[in-house]
Amino acid sequence: MFAVAAEQYLPVVDAVHDDAERRRVVGLLRRAAEQATLTGDYSLVNALLGATLRLIGPGDETALLAEVHTGRHAALYGIGRLDEADEVYRTIEGLSTTATQRANATVVQVLSLTQRSRLTDAIGLGLDSLRELGITVPAADRLPIELDDQFGHLYRWLETQAADDLARSDITEPRLIAAARLINAVLPATYFVADHATNAWLSLEALRIWLEHGPGPTLVGPASTAAFATVTMRGDYAAGYRAVRRILGLGEARGYEPDICQARFLFSVLCCWFEPAEKTLQAGRQARDGLIAGGDLANAGYTWQSIVAALLDCAPSLDAFVAEVEAGLTFARRTGSEQSGQWLEPIGG
């Protein structure tokens, strides 16, 4: 009954003065917040962690403060209170000394800026943090040459057997795992500003890390975007389809949930040239539901693009089509996603 006990403390948290009890309640509130995160109750997470911060004294560890602020930052993002999340992120920056320490919060902050169409800020924050982690995007005059090398990695990988990936151990280097998550976060912003070269290089860099250091859940999303880059930069639909199917197959075999849901989304985007519209619809909906369950609200909002496009071909009725568009608009408004709203409003209008 720890979650019930934690909620009972919320109205009286300022009356807890005993040091031992304060420490006990901090643990109780954080445990309840972890459970609420699993069910997507971000309003409750925010209340629980806000109360936790009132119990943490000035002499407590900086690491503990950073962790609680990071959890609350993600909760505020989850309920669309993005301006408040900005203030919390500034606090996190003051508490951390390295990009790795604040990587989780930076991922959320990049997504938050992207949701509000502050794309230059999102890209700047993401690329600066990646440089701190040892990943530097080449200058514009070097990008074409670098892209040729990066695409070479992809095509050589496609010539190997899928079983080769299954035989490898997962990536373990914390710095590279953090870099993969940041790459994944900044990719939508580079796409929305139509910087396809940087988008392609970043996604292919994730695939290079996969090839050199092993696969892993955090690499699934950006590596799947590398499959999309074969279409935007090379016009090679077949290679993109093969690549995303291979990543999806490995992720399903390894149980990379919920990260694999982003690969399902990219599969829903790319499979329309090779499979019936019903397959696009099925994959898009499966990706959306999994991304929402996993707390990836930004990518969940983007899935309506492939879902709605597929329904134009296979919706059982106009009413069913309109209902799906309205559901997408409601989700976009609740999460503060300006891009998804701008795309769906003309359709639903």
pLDDT at 348 (0 to 100): 67
**Can you say how many angstroms the Cα of residue 288 is from the centroid of all Cα atoms in its chain?**
12
Does the predicted model carry a pTM greater than 0.75?
Answer: yes
pLDDT at 38 (0 to 100): 87
pLDDT, tens digit, 9 for 90 and up, residues 216-255: 999 999 999 999 999 999 999 999 999 999 999 999 999 9
Specify whether the CB–CB gap between 110 and 185 falls below 8 A: yes
**Residue 157 has which token pair?**
């990988």
pLDDT, tens digit, 9 for 90 and up, residues 56-111: 876 668 889 999 999 999 999 999 899 999 999 999 999 998 989 999 999 999 99
SS (H, E, C) 65-76: HHHHHHHHHHHH
Q: Give every residue of the chain whose pLDDT is below 50, as ranges.
A: none
**Can you say how many angstroms the Cα of residue 116 is from the centroid of all Cα atoms in its chain?**
16
Give the torsion sign (CA, 259, 261, 265, 270): positive
Q: How many CB atoms lie within 10 A of CB 222?
A: 27
The domain locations on the chain are 98-348
Cis amide prior to 346 (ω within 30 degrees)? no
pLDDT at 307 (0 to 100): 94
- The yes or no reply on domain 98-348 and CATH 1.25.40.10 is yes
Dihedral of the alpha carbons of 101, 99, 65, 177, in degrees to the nearest 10? -40
Specify whether the CB–CB gap between 36 and 45 falls below 8 A: yes
SS (H, E, C) the chain: CHHHHHHHHHHHHHHCCCHHHHHHHHHHHHHHHHHHHHCCCHHHHHHHHHHHHHHCCCCCCHHHHHHHHHHHHHHHHHCCCHHHHHHHHHHHHHHCCCCCCCHHHHHHHHHHHHHCCCHHHHHHHHHHHHHHCCCCCCCCCCHHHHHHHHHHHHHHHHCCCHHHHHCCCCCCCHHHHHHHHHHHHHHHHHHHCCCHHHHHHHHHHHHHHHHHHCCCHHHHHHHHHHHHHHHHHHCCHHHHHHHHHHHHHHHHHHCCCCCHHHHHHHHHHHHHHCCCHHHHHHHHHHHHHHHHHCCCHHHHHHHHHHHHHHHHHHCCCHHHHHHHHHHHHHHHHHHCCHHHHHHHHHHHC
